[in-house]
């Protein structure tokens, strides 16, 4: 199951960001954020395989969920409700993921495979964000992904896992009272004209590397943000403008962590 990656239900005429989560989401019995989101992703993947990708997504999307298409950031519920079922099957599985200390915001990432007629048709990496609901369940809040050539899938995930382990271990505890919001940090990053931050980058057709992040060249604008109650984990998402010839609208999904009082980008996925 391809968790949170644009998994193209190509035949259906829309791109599906892989989602590796759980089917009819249920209240988790685990306290560890990684275990919680892995459980959700795996159940979601099973639902996508047994019920079809469309119904699998609709079974886990939150009411305010977003997904990313060639025309920008759109409602997940509206997108999948209007989409026909696809002849493509989507498989994905979580490799890395964590949750906030407050147990209300989670993210997961891993590889996905898109297949039809018994043949693998596409590969990539997904990135998804889950949020705990009032009833205790967790649902998919945002789902994005990048496509990769088959020969880069292995190196991609090996490189990403090593970088992720180091970056997660290097965090410092978030302080309780701080000035500056996640929204402000994202807006500042999108406004700079020169690189201003480092993160694990996810881009189409390349192995993940730690690099500089700057949204100004693409004129990105944030469309959604979510912050954990504990203040140690956040998500921002947005879109840019298509080039002069039109075409695909660039989009991004970022995972942020707060070390002390400073919000820092952990993962920056950009597509388009």
Could you report the per-residue pLDDT of 130-143, keeping only the tens digit for each?
999 999 999 999 99
At the topology level, CATH places domain 182-271 in Nuclear Transport Factor 2; Chain: A, (3.10.450)
pLDDT at 38: 97
pLDDT at 208: 85
Within this chain, domains 6-148 and 182-271 share the same CATH topology:
yes
User: How many angstroms separate the CA atoms of 92 and 69, rounded?
Assistant: 19
Tokens of 89: 């099957």
- Tell me the C-alpha to C-alpha distance, in Å, between residue 69 and each of 46, 193, 247, 259: 23, 26, 11, 32
Domain boundaries, the chain: 6-148, 182-271
pLDDT at 4: 37
pLDDT at 14: 28
**Residues sharing a CB contact under 8 Å with residue 172, sequence separation 6 or more, in sequence order:** 259, 260
Tens-level pLDDT at each residue, the chain (272 residues): 333 333 333 322 223 333 333 333 333 333 599 999 999 999 999 999 899 889 999 999 999 999 999 999 999 999 999 988 777 788 999 999 999 999 999 999 999 998 877 777 789 999 999 999 999 999 999 999 999 998 888 888 899 999 999 999 888 888 877 888 999 999 988 887 555 567 899 988 888 888 777 665 667 899 999 999 999 999 999 999 876 666 889 999 999 999 888 899 999 999 88
Q: Does domain 6-148 have CATH number 3.10.450.50?
A: yes
pLDDT at 245: 62
- Tell me the C-alpha to C-alpha distance, in Å, between residue 45 and each of 42, 64, 90, 104: 5, 21, 8, 21
């Amino acid at each position: 199951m391809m968790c949170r990656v644009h998994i193209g239900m190509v035949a259906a005429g829309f791109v599906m960001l892989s989602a590796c989560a759980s089917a009819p989401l249920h209240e988790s019995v685990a306290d560890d954020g990684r275990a919680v989101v892995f459980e959700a992703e795996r159940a979601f993947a099973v639902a996508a395989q047994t019920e079809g990708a469309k119904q699998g997504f609709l079974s886990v999307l939150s009411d305010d969920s977003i997904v990313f298409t060639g025309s920008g950031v759109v409602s997940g519920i509206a997108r999948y409700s209007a989409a026909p079922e696809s002849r493509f099957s989507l498989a994905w599985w979580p490799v890395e993921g964590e949750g906030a200390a407050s147990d209300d915001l989670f993210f997961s990432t891993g590889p996905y495979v898109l297949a039809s007629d018994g043949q693998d048709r596409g590969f990539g990496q997904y990135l998804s964000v889950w949020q705990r609901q009032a009833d205790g369940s967790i649902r998919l809040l945002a789902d994005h992904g990048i496509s990769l050539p088959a020969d880069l899938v292995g190196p991609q995930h090996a490189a990403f896992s090593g970088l992720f382990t180091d970056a997660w271990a290097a965090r410092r505890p978030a302080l309780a009272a701080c000035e500056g919001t996640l929204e402000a940090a994202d807006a500042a990053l999108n406004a700079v004209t020169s690189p201003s931050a480092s993160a694990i980058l996810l881009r189409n057709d390349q192995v993940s590397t730690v690099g500089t992040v700057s949204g100004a060249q693409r004129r990105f604008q944030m469309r959604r943000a979510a912050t954990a109650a504990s203040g140690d984990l956040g998500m921002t998402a947005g879109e840019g403008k298509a080039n002069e010839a039109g075409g695909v609208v660039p989009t991004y999904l970022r995972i942020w962590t707060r070390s002390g009082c400073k919000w820092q980008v952990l993962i920056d996925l950009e597509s388009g």
